[in-house]
Chains A and B, each alone.
Chain A
Amino acid sequence: MMNSNEIIDDIANKEYEFGFTTDIEMDIAPPGLNEDIIRFISAKKNEPEWLLEWRLKGFAAFKKMQFPKWQHFEMPELDLQALSYYAAPKKKKQLNSLDEVDPELLATFEKLGIPLNEQKALTGVAVDAVFDSVSVATTFKGKLKEMGVIFCSFGEAVQEYPDLVKKYLGTVVPHSDNIFAALNSAVFSDGSFTYIPKGVRCPMELSTYFRINAQNTGQFERTLIVADEGSYVSYLEGCTAPMRDENQLHAAVVELVALDHAEIKYSTVQNWYPGDKDGKGGIYNFVTKRGICKGNASKISWTQVETGSAITWKYPSVILQGDYSEGEFYSVAVVRNKQIADTGTKIHHIGKGTKSRIISKGISAGRGDNSYRGLVAVGPRADNARNFTQCDSLLIGNDCGSHTFPYIESRNKTAMIEHEATTSKIGEDQIFYLNARGIDTEKAVALIVNGYVKEVLNQLPMEFAVEAQKLLSITLEGSVG
């Protein structure tokens, strides 16, 4: 009979499932961050002059900025000059169809459970696969186009739909928003672009899958989603990376724009390499995600399941500009070993009658440290704004940490803001109770945790809710001691 300590050891030594590397010929720019590399990236991607200018503005802003000091963890040393800012699988010529994608790449994504072959793909889900700096394939593009839905790599959008990109790029997360957003603006390499035309309900889940492979690179992609009047889209992103001893930086930017009566549902299942049990290696996931409900009665909903990364540091936010618009944030963040998460959301109520709902579930195990940080701001014009926040922490074991930093700023007397918070611990008693009914400890923890996060997982699209549930069970296996 294994005791709990043995189970913990067993699991701590268990390898990260997606830790393999792909051996493929790459175009890699020399390390270093300067104007030349920005011009190099821009030229490589054949970008128009205005975009290069925008990048350079971002770089200028970046140079004036310092790393923040308010976060609840020690800022790791980042040598941004030592990184390479462009890494792409070498390709011989322009790709016209999936058949021309390097088989090694297809095999990689297949191994990750993301078949890019449309016959094999999950029905009802279109995928844009991003490998290091570039998008390697987008499935179901043709089918979507018939309905006027644009779903393609960012680079492609710049070429094919420059007006749309120019109109919305940087309107939600400006080039000077924060140091990582500024860095991203300067050196972003690819990402996804989505446009849903007026009145269209996107017929399938759209999904981006991010994979970091190359060594000593960062991943800086941008996602821009525009939902025109009365449209609806559900979008999902997933991420993995190989196991490497050095830390890698992922500094993405996601911008969402919802016009009148439009709805965007954005879900993330983040499973970047978390580092080993002593905290060596792992991804720094420093991401800026923000959506604006520009139109009246529009809605943006963020759902995130964060299980990976050495450090997760992000606050998917919603600006509720349109009257009667609605913002939601559902989050499960899990830390174990020496992982750190400092995450939460910001909701800005600007329009009248705006509503928001925040459900955050933090789970800390091992020596992990989990912080919820959230801001609910109500402006003077936001009559009858309503917010409900529920912020729960679950502790497993005695060496983990959990913190809550809620900020509320109300400048309107008619606003109603509610905040509820709980902290609980998975007890030996709960485990034993389930044991005594024939349920082993692993299953018992999974049962308790899944019960705890149910409210959030229910928000995910069906196929992914099941995946996320499994991922949580695997992540927390053996965390009880």
Chain B
Amino acid sequence: MLTIKNLHAEVEGKQILKGINLEIGKGETHAIMGPNGSGKSSLASVLAGRDNYTVTEGEVWFNGKNLLDLSPEDRAREGVFLAFQYPVEIPGVSNLNFLKTALNEIRTYKGLPAIEGRDFLKLTKEKQQLVDFNANLMNRSLNEGFSGGEKKRNEIFQLAMLDPQLAILDETDSGLDIDALRIVSNGVNKLRDAEKSFVVITHYQRLLEYIVPDFVHVLYNGRIIKTGTKELALELEERGYDWLKEELHLKEA
């Protein structure tokens, strides 16, 4: 579904991604871990199309389409979803109105008619219950005055509503207490199916106890230096990243 080949990207002239290779198949869940500043969130931003990143080399293919040729909105319409690390607040725009606009933009792109008001409300109710999102927050202005946890939960609610093929969760666990973490993870797990793929970016193994990945990748200095299964995450938790860094330096030396 998603193929990343030798991806290089820079921001403000500084090279951040230095040759990422990654293959994500349908229905798979990949975790990306790594120390601070290794390029995890940059990878998410590049995939979503944030324009202060410049891709200098490499390719990204999504369902046979060159993702890097598409505008951010078209990537979303094609089925790429980024759950933001820091969701923004937009005063005066109701959460539901925003979601309806987004949903209809995606439907129009796919050649579907706009969703009927009644069907939309039915869908919101269903998804809101599925991911256990507070119904009172649906009519509020988008993320305005939401707590950190509420914002993250709203990202998962949006994910449920827009039903993408590939969801990238950028440190969705940061700033969540243990209860919120459980709720968010439950929501994600309910959305997992054979058609949908997930990229879970996180610092901590803790999240991966709830959202169990098929693969774990370690990103360091703009490159994936190790790939394994969920056991790798446990090893990292125990030993930290230093042994990997050393291994890498030995290889390069």
Task: Using CB atoms and an 8 Å cutoff, list the residues of chain A in contact with chain B.
Answer: 1, 3, 424, 427-430, 432-441, 443, 447-448, 450-455
Tell me which residues across on chain A come within 8 A of B81, comparing CB atoms.
Answer: 436
Return the contact of A437 from the options B71, B76, B109 (Cβ within 8 A). B76
Tell me which residues across on chain A come within 8 A of B50, comparing CB atoms.
Answer: 432
Closest to B69 in A: A1
Given contacts A438-B162, A447-B101, A450-B93, 6 further A-B contacts (CB under 8 A): A1-B69, A429-B88, A434-B90, A436-B49, A448-B90, A454-B92
Return the contact of A435 from the options B72, B97, B158, B162 (Cβ within 8 A). B72
Return the contact of A451 from the options B90, B106, B109 (Cβ within 8 A). B90
Sampled A-B contacts (17; CB under 8 Å): A3-B51, A424-B91, A427-B88, A432-B72, A435-B71, A435-B73, A436-B72, A436-B82, A436-B84, A438-B106, A440-B71, A447-B98, A448-B90, A450-B93, A451-B93, A454-B92, A455-B92
Say if the beta carbon of B60 comes within 8 Å of chain A. no
The reply to whether B87 and A433 form a contact with Cβ atoms under 8 Å apart is: yes
The reply to whether B90 and A435 form a contact with Cβ atoms under 8 Å apart is: no
Return the contact of B90 from the options A433, A441, A443 (Cβ within 8 A). A433
Closest to A437 in B: B102
Tell me which residues across on chain A come within 8 A of B98, comparing CB atoms.
Answer: 434, 437, 447
Min CB gap B201→A, angstroms: 15
Tell me which residues across on chain A come within 8 A of B77, comparing CB atoms.
Answer: 438
Q: How far is the CA of A344 from the CA of B81 in the complex (A)?
A: 43
Interface hub of B49, B76, B87 (most chain A Cβ within 10 A)? B76
Tell me which residues across on chain B come within 8 A of A452, comparing CB atoms.
Answer: 91-92
Q: How far is the CA of A452 from the CA of B172 in the complex (A)?
A: 28
Return the contact of A436 from the options B76, B92, B93 (Cβ within 8 A). B76
Q: How far is the CA of A451 from the CA of B92 in the complex (A)?
A: 4
Say if the beta carbon of B48 comes within 8 Å of chain A. yes
The reply to whether B49 and A430 form a contact with Cβ atoms under 8 Å apart is: no
The reply to whether A435 and B49 form a contact with Cβ atoms under 8 Å apart is: yes
Q: How far is the CA of A438 from the CA of B75 in the complex (A)?
A: 7
Interface hub of B48, B102, B158, B162 (most chain A Cβ within 10 A)? B102
Closest to B52 in A: A428
Tell me which residues across on chain A come within 8 A of B70, comparing CB atoms.
Answer: 1
The reply to whether A448 and B88 form a contact with Cβ atoms under 8 Å apart is: no
Return the contact of B73 from the options A424, A430, A440, A453 (Cβ within 8 A). A440
**Is chain A's binding surface mostly helix, strand, loop or mixed?**
helix
Interface hub of A3, A434, A437 (most chain B Cβ within 10 A)? A437
Min CB gap A431→B, angstroms: 9
Q: How far is the CA of A433 from the CA of B87 in the complex (A)?
A: 8
Say if the beta carbon of B141 comes within 8 Å of chain A. yes
Min CB gap A288→B, angstroms: 32
The reply to whether B73 and A439 form a contact with Cβ atoms under 8 Å apart is: yes
The reply to whether B90 and A438 form a contact with Cβ atoms under 8 Å apart is: no
Q: How far is the CA of A263 from the CA of B70 in the complex (A)?
A: 54
Say if the beta carbon of B150 comes within 8 Å of chain A. no
Q: How far is the CA of A369 from the CA of B177 in the complex (A)?
A: 46
With contacts A1-B71, A432-B50, A443-B105 known, is A438 near B76, CB below 8 A? Answer: yes
Closest to B84 in A: A433
Per-residue interface assignment for chain B, residues 145 to 170, with 1 indicating a CB less than 8 Å from any chain A CB and 0 otherwise: 00000000000001000100000000
Q: How far is the CA of A429 from the CA of B89 in the complex (A)?
A: 9
The reply to whether B105 and A440 form a contact with Cβ atoms under 8 Å apart is: yes
Shortest Cβ-Cβ A-B pairs, 4 listed: A451-B92, A451-B93, A435-B72, A438-B76
Per-residue interface assignment for chain B, residues 45 to 76, with 1 indicating a CB less than 8 Å from any chain A CB and 0 otherwise: 00011111000000000000000011111011
Tell me which residues across on chain A come within 8 A of B76, comparing CB atoms.
Answer: 435-438
Closest to A452 in B: B92
Q: How far is the CA of A452 from the CA of B98 in the complex (A)?
A: 13
Closest to B77 in A: A438
The reply to whether A451 and B141 form a contact with Cβ atoms under 8 Å apart is: yes
Tell me which residues across on chain B come within 8 A of A427, comparing CB atoms.
Answer: 88
Tell me which residues across on chain A come within 8 A of B91, comparing CB atoms.
Answer: 424, 451-452
The reply to whether A438 and B82 form a contact with Cβ atoms under 8 Å apart is: no
Q: How far is the CA of A337 from the CA of B141 in the complex (A)?
A: 30
Min CB gap A457→B, angstroms: 11
The reply to whether B141 and A438 form a contact with Cβ atoms under 8 Å apart is: no
Interface hub of B77, B84, B91 (most chain A Cβ within 10 A)? B91
Min CB gap B69→A, angstroms: 8
Tell me which residues across on chain A come within 8 A of B73, comparing CB atoms.
Answer: 435-436, 438-441
Min CB gap A406→B, angstroms: 21
Min CB gap A445→B, angstroms: 11
Q: How far is the CA of A428 from the CA of B49 in the complex (A)?
A: 13
Q: How far is the CA of A429 from the CA of B50 in the complex (A)?
A: 9
Tell me which residues across on chain A come within 8 A of B141, comparing CB atoms.
Answer: 451
Closest to A449 in B: B92
Q: How far is the CA of A421 from the CA of B98 in the complex (A)?
A: 26
Closest to A4 in B: B51
Tell me which residues across on chain A come within 8 A of B102, comparing CB atoms.
Answer: 434, 437-439
Min CB gap B45→A, angstroms: 9
Q: How far is the CA of A452 from the CA of B94 in the complex (A)?
A: 11
Q: How far is the CA of A438 from the CA of B164 in the complex (A)?
A: 11
